[in-house]
Structure 1
């Protein structure tokens, strides 16, 4: 699936979290069958499966319909697609899953978000379909990502994007610089660019897109403290004012002199435009930004992995994944498992990729991608990573993301006040975790 279709007014398509389960009690308790033009979901009549999708852009919706049509032609179970706008889907997701008549299958994403629902016994255990067939050949990182905290597999991944430090190849050639591998090399690169009159690092954490700064926090934390510490921190098992987190900001402070001074005033779309227009040298961003890049510039884009800080810490990467989970209350468990197993195949993932837009990568290790150098490099980055994180809110919750937005924005403005900033962040986060 393509998580790349983001606009300022719907950034939650990328960052949407689990939502509050308790809020479902305030919503309608029954979800009825709807149309592919925006119905509310619900199990279809007879033996037809209801598939509820948030992939509402024309190309993504068409690609999903191609998937359903191909599944239907196989014989056996049938599937009906219901599509709603991503914001509506996010808001209604707790209702879908707690309804007396839920959709059979839903698009969304794995990790902490799926586990939140699994803990409420709302997701179907599909561990058996992972034991055989093409799902058995998925990477250990993806298998781990699709497993809930009780050890059951509750998700089938379909595609992913990745984050990296993007730049223009023509600019690096013109400036006579190369990709850095370590933090020291990265700092030296920043100093070289600054000496040439180039703003080294773009950001884009303003105008409603403060969440972009979370990528810096994520990567610094997984490079310094490791991916498991990072996930435990976001789950409330560590404190945001711990010494380990202070180390993250000590490291970040070294790079602050090289950031665009307007970085917290620009939306990420404007910041990526600055990169494309040669006003900044690099930007830590997800591949979704390339959807809006002029086609004649996409071939000039390249990226490098976030630099190594501690060689002893395994190099986890941020690879937000999308796919499917099923309602635990579906009345068509066997048919749902049949569909989910097929959605994990080479055939299904290549059908979707051919009809969708953006730089997304099929999760099935044997499925073909677009074959462009950028995608080949990104795929290798994620598939060879010893661990894969998602993004701040995907590894925590939608409710925790605003606490990060607030803390990181304050740090960027007043880095010397990091002590009080982290104390306040821990207080705000604790309020979220205690709910």
Structure 2
């Protein structure tokens, strides 16, 4: 079947200032020639700055690059969080030719800074392989394209079918049913909700879905753009609701990585986990067919379950690229349906962005993920991609970690967020 169009068109508001971080990425990882990507063609050497540091995404990129024969490639792989936190200075320093990044607001932010190459000419060749919605998410505020979408993945509540069948659990449709299910799991000796926030970003997904379920997509995006107050009673209701669910969350979350939480789900120590579909990476291949999900249940009937997070990952060319011709050839390779078919086969937690990708080989989980996205009315890109990078990294990461550690101190926290927001969104 054809790949569904996942991203609804919307105006993306651009941040005005980049965030400051102390380190650069170049040299942080392995800058040796990729053992799988030495094409040796006539376009010289193309370098890639990659945040694909986990085992499966790293293997996926290596394998896809191996199929690129027009140039020799060198991949500099950097820890995912380090890459994201240091991207601004990296792009202003000595970046690789091509770098992994995100669609939408985050792409536009660096395009406006003059840190990315206009690839509108590439889109003239590859545009027929993407829906208009994906093109919109690759387009800067100047109307030019700067990004090639590669894969995307929805966020949902994941669980093991065998455990649920054994215990008689059913996917909840409302928050009350969700809470009742969590209580039953707790009584059964199972930690209801796997949870981890050592790296700072996973809790953003919980905030996103609660805010969209309670206040709707438009309010959420407006809040991310700095147009709403964090002391608004509507925002407080999000944190109040979250606090009410905390007793069901896996404890000591600030000392746990998402990988460890995912493994607890795989081991049936926890009952469910709100995360991106990439949680499948933490499951042994033999157990992946046992993984299923439901979209986070309704809280406010006015919005139902019309919105989800489904971030798009892809590639850009840095403005300081030494080999632009080779870089453009490489991103055309990434845009090919055949390349994305390789990626979705190797990585069970992703879906292909190309509308020409072969979805017939999708696992049951991937088919369900594509269906979930196709039915959503609104698609968010994720908190740290829908707002300014400085606000996400310097304000929201520590603020949400503070809340996770002390969920009863809501009002002072929201006042502090609002004060910092006012200084950043000026």
Per the TM superposition, whether the score is higher than 0.5 is yes
Structure 2 residue 158 is matched with structure 1 residue 166: yes
Alpha-carbon distance change, 239 to 268 in structure 1, aligned in 2, over 3 angstroms: same
Which residue does the alignment assign to 1:52?
48
Structure 1 residue 324: deviation in Å? 0.9
| Bigger Cα displacement from structure 2, 48-57 vs 103-112 | 48-57
1:194-247 residue CA offsets vs partner (Å, 9 max, x unmatched): 444443222223xx2343222110111122333343233233222322233122
Alpha-carbon distance change, 136 to 243 in structure 1, aligned in 2, over 3 angstroms: farther
Structure 2 residue 381 is matched with structure 1 residue 390: yes
Kept in 2, the 8 Å contact 1:115–1:149? The answer is yes
Structure 2 residue 269 is matched with structure 1 residue 272: no
Which residue does the alignment assign to 1:6?
none
Kept in 1, the 8 Å contact 2:333–2:339? The answer is yes
Which residue does the alignment assign to 2:6?
none
Equivalent pairs, count: 397
Question: 1:92 and 1:401 mapped to 2: Cα distance?
Answer: 10
1:18-37 correspondence to structure 2 within 5 Å: 20=18, 35-36=32-33
Structure 1 residue 179: deviation in Å? 1.1
TM-score normalised to structure 1 length: 0.77
Structure 1 residue 422: deviation in Å? 0.5
Which residue does the alignment assign to 1:10?
none
Kept in 2, the 8 Å contact 1:49–1:104? The answer is no
Question: 1:96 and 1:182 mapped to 2: Cα distance?
Answer: 44
Which residue does the alignment assign to 2:232?
242
1:24-423 correspondence to structure 2 within 5 Å: 35-36=32-33, 47-48=43-44, 50-54=46-50, 55=52, 60=57, 63-68=60-65, 70-72=67-69, 78-87=70-79, 90=84, 93-94=87-88, 97-98=91-92, 103-127=96-120, 129-130=122-123, 133=126, 135-205=127-197, 208-264=198-254, 266-313=256-303, 315-328=306-319, 336-337=327-328, 339-354=330-345, 356-369=346-359, 370-396=361-387, 397=389, 400-423=392-415
1:300-328 residue CA offsets vs partner (Å, 9 max, x unmatched): 22111111223443722222321111234
Structure 1 residue 399: deviation in Å? 5.5
Structure 2 residue 418 is matched with structure 1 residue 426: yes
Structure 1 residue 409: deviation in Å? 3.5
Kept in 1, the 8 Å contact 2:157–2:273? The answer is yes
1:60-97 residue CA offsets vs partner (Å, 9 max, x unmatched): 5564455445443xxxxx33322112247557744554
Kept in 1, the 8 Å contact 2:85–2:393? The answer is no
Match of 2:142, SS state, is coil
TM-score normalised to structure 2 length: 0.78
Kept in 2, the 8 Å contact 1:167–1:275? The answer is yes
Kept in 2, the 8 Å contact 1:49–1:105? The answer is no
Alpha-carbon distance change, 247 to 130 in structure 1, aligned in 2, over 3 angstroms: farther
Match of 1:179, SS state, is coil
Question: 2:289 and 2:110 mapped to 1: Cα distance?
Answer: 40
Match of 2:71, SS state, is strand
1:85-140 residue CA offsets vs partner (Å, 9 max, x unmatched): 224755774455446x864432222223222211112222334544564x345345
Alpha-carbon distance change, 52 to 91 in structure 1, aligned in 2, over 3 angstroms: farther
Question: What are structure 2's unaligned runs of at least 5 residues?
Answer: 1-15
| Bigger Cα displacement from structure 2, 181-190 vs 83-92 | 83-92
Kept in 1, the 8 Å contact 2:25–2:78? The answer is no
Structure 1 residue 155: deviation in Å? 0.8
Match of 2:134, SS state, is helix
Alpha-carbon distance change, 259 to 335 in structure 1, aligned in 2, over 3 angstroms: closer
Structure 1 residue 352: deviation in Å? 3.9
Question: What are structure 1's unaligned runs of at least 5 residues?
Answer: 1-17, 39-43, 73-77
Which residue does the alignment assign to 1:41?
none
| Bigger Cα displacement from structure 2, 50-59 vs 422-431 | 50-59
